[in-house]
Each structure stands twice: as C-alpha cells, then as structure tokens.
Amino acid sequence: MTVIDLAYARMKPLAPKKDDKTYGFSVVKNGACFELYFADLWTFDDWFDALKAVCVKTSFHDEYKALKILGEGSFARVN
C-alpha cells in the first residue's frame, strides 16, 4: 500500500477532455505529480471537497482577477 502525504500539496482541477467525459485534478508535492480522474462529476466533487481541506488550491488566478497593484517592495507585489 502506498501512502501519499498531501498536507500542503498543490491541487488544481483539470479541464475535462472534449472526447472523454472524465473529471480530474492534479496533486503536486515535492516535485511528484499525481493525476486523479473520475467518471462522474459527483465523485469528483466528493474527492475534491475532501482533499481541499489539506491541500492548497492553485486555481486562485482562474477565479479572481487582480485589478490594481496596492503596493510594491523589494521582494513582492501586493495586488
């Protein structure tokens, strides 16, 4: 049995393929990438909701748009 430590792993939903009706997401941690695919949307939602409690979602910029820069320093920008 393989155990994968998913704490603070990055998680991103994968776009469904046109010819295939599967839903999936990728989980990346320490350079290792795992892709999980599901045949139906309900199972995908159950897994995604359960894992997002311990993983970091990377779809922030897909869901939100930065309107302006609030501040800028030597190492970072605040949008």
46-71 pLDDT tens trace? 988 888 777 776 666 666 777 888 88
Q: pLDDT class for 36, splitting at 50, 70, 90?
A: confident
For strand 56-57 and strand 32-38, is the pairing parallel, antiparallel, or unpaired?
A: unpaired
| Percentage above 70 pLDDT, the chain | 81
